[in-house]
Structure formats: C-alpha cells, structure tokens
Homo-oligomer: A and B are copies of this chain.
C-alpha cells in the first residue's frame, strides 16, 4: 500500500476559480495488479483549457466530474510494473492528472482505444522531463499546428501573438522568428516583456501598461498583420481584426480573457471587417492535429539542438499547490509553462 494525494473538483467554479472549488484528498493505492504498472508522477500540468472542463456542458471533451480527481497531463516514473513493456524507472507521459501515484493497465487502455488515457514512454534525450508537458508536449504541439497548419504561415507574413509569453505563445513567437518573420507579441508586465525581447520578438505590447491595445497594435504594425495567433480574446481579437491585412489568417487557439466570464462576453465589434478583408478565422483543437506529431518532434529537436528555441517555466511545489497554480493562470502570473512539481 502506498499513500497518494489527489486534487478533486469540489464545486464547479463560478467566475474565477477559488481554492474552495477544489479539495485535497488522500487515498491508498494498492500494489499494481496483473498487467498493471504503478506510476509516481514527477510533474503535472495546469493548462487554461481545463477551465472549460469545469463547466457542466457538452464540449469536445467531457466535463470533469465533481468529487473525482481532475485529469490533465503529467510526467511520471514507473515505480512498479507487471507489464513487460514498462520497466521501473521509465519516464512516462499520461493524462491521469492531478494525483501523486496511480495504477493503470497500459494494455487495457490500448484495447479500449482511449488516446486520452494512453501511457506513453518518453525518451527525454537528456532534456528535463517536464519539457514534455510544455515546449515538447501539448502546448508546443498546439503552437506548431496552429501556426503552421491552421494559420498556414507563409513567407513575408507579419505575425501577432497574444499571451505571447505563455507556454503556447512563446513557442509560436520563436517558430515565427526562426523562420524569419516579423513578430509582435502581447503580454502583461515587465518580466514577460523582457523575456519576449530576449527571444527576438520585434515589438512587444505590454497590454497591462497600454490604455488602447487596438491603437498600439496599429502603431507597431503600421503595414498590418497577416497572421494572428489568438490566445486571449476580447480587445486582442478586436486589435487583430483592426490591423489585419487582406487575406490574413487567424488561428483561434483560446480566449483566456473569457474563460471565467459570468456575464455576456463582449464580441469583436469590428467583425464586419472580416468580409472586406477576406479574413479567415479558424478555431482548432490540438488533438485533431496529432498527425503532425512526427514532423513536430523532428523539427523541435533540430531547433532545440541548434539553440533556436528556449523556454521558461513557472513552478509551484507539491500537489497541494496545484489549485493555486491553476488559478494563477488567469491572473497571468505564469511566465512560460505553469507546472506543479510533485516528485
């Protein structure tokens, strides 16, 4: 028997989530049964999209269940194994989420065909394992697919990225830069601005220090933008539409400014410009683009080896801090990937 702590969803948040919406529980985990492995999580991920799963509504993933441990990406290590394909010490990626230790039967999951439930062995190639929750994991893949496929980046494009210092945005900025584009990033606060400048972003908009994001974008992109990578919504979307050149393409990845909205959100008042400018605004979910994974893995490895990609982490320590880590996302308190260190 092993003791494991986990974070459960206690109540569905109204507005910005609070500590009271979560509860920490302790459970006993038996030795793994036949065909099972036992995984001790080392790192877990909190991501903005999880807010959507806290609502009780139909969406592209089912809602989280009240009273149960939250699900999400985690990197762990095999501590006991009854599956010949997994050895003690192996590093694994999973979606079982907000818990310290769990048992799972990899073969049973595979038989059920559940991609969300898969346990995947990782060769870290000497990189820190938590990078596979960030730049080399779902957020990196989101950046890659959104910029290169959904927004269909092409030579000469001027690229605008909101939440540019986040786990996804910072990868978008760097891929666009290493491909030779002019990049404009928006982020809040001097630390993020400095980071974005350090990775070569051409113009940084500190939206917290800017009274008018629409005017500011128009100023720093006098000839307009061709690609917008949307993470924020609200005034950022309005600014992007206003500055869009004809045939601009928007990859709509998320709208974090609206995730906790309790009233009626404000839509982009200038959406009519999409007609005259022949804009294409396209939403996407990374799970529909995993056919790009081999290309992603190859390109990212090459770019990291060449020193063209870097990343930041914001780390909270211990599973009890996971709700805090999650809540901080919505105040923009993370620089780069927000992680919880469990190991």
A: residues with CB less than 8 A from B are 52, 59-60, 233, 237-238, 246, 252-255, 258, 264-285, 288
Asked whether, in the complex, the Cβ of B276 is within 8 Å of the Cβ of A60, the reply is: yes
Known: A266-B267, A268-B267, A268-B271. A280 touches B280 (CB 8 A): yes
Asked whether, in the complex, the Cβ of A288 is within 8 Å of the Cβ of B282, the reply is: no
10 A–B contacts from the bound complex (CB under 8 Å): A52-B276, A59-B276, A60-B276, A60-B278, A254-B275, A268-B268, A271-B271, A278-B283, A280-B281, A281-B282
Label chain A's interface by main secondary structure. Answer: loop
Bound complex: CA A102 to CA B8 (Å): 77
Asked whether, in the complex, the Cβ of A246 is within 8 Å of the Cβ of B278, the reply is: no
CB distance from A104 to the nearest CB of B (A): 27
Contact with A278, one of B233, B255, B277, B284 (Cβ below 8 angstroms): B284
Known: A60-B246, A246-B60, A274-B252. A279 touches B283 (CB 8 A): yes
CB nearest neighbor in B for A60: B276
Further contacts, 20 of them, CB under 8 A, given A59-B276, A255-B271, A277-B283: A52-B276, A60-B278, A233-B271, A233-B272, A237-B271, A252-B275, A252-B279, A254-B275, A264-B269, A267-B269, A268-B268, A273-B283, A275-B283, A278-B283, A278-B285, A278-B288, A279-B283, A280-B280, A280-B282, A280-B283
Query: Which residues of B have CB within 8 Å of A275?
Result: 252-255, 283-285
Bound complex: CA A282 to CA B276 (Å): 10
CB nearest neighbor in B for A57: B276
Identical chains in the assembly: 2
CB distance from A57 to the nearest CB of B (A): 10
Asked whether, in the complex, the Cβ of B278 is within 8 Å of the Cβ of A274, the reply is: no
Bound complex: CA A265 to CA B266 (Å): 11
Bound complex: CA A277 to CA B285 (Å): 8
Contact with A272, one of B258, B277, B285 (Cβ below 8 angstroms): B258
Query: Which residues of B have CB within 8 Å of A238?
Result: 267
CB distance from A49 to the nearest CB of B (A): 9
Bound complex: CA A276 to CA B284 (Å): 7
Contact with A255, one of B52, B252, B254, B272 (Cβ below 8 angstroms): B272
CB distance from A225 to the nearest CB of B (A): 15
Query: Which residues of B have CB within 8 Å of A246?
Result: 60
Known: A60-B246, A281-B281, A282-B281. A270 touches B276 (CB 8 A): no
Known: A60-B246, A246-B60. A272 touches B265 (CB 8 A): yes
Asked whether, in the complex, the Cβ of B276 is within 8 Å of the Cβ of A283, the reply is: yes
Query: Which residues of B have CB within 8 Å of A264?
Result: 269
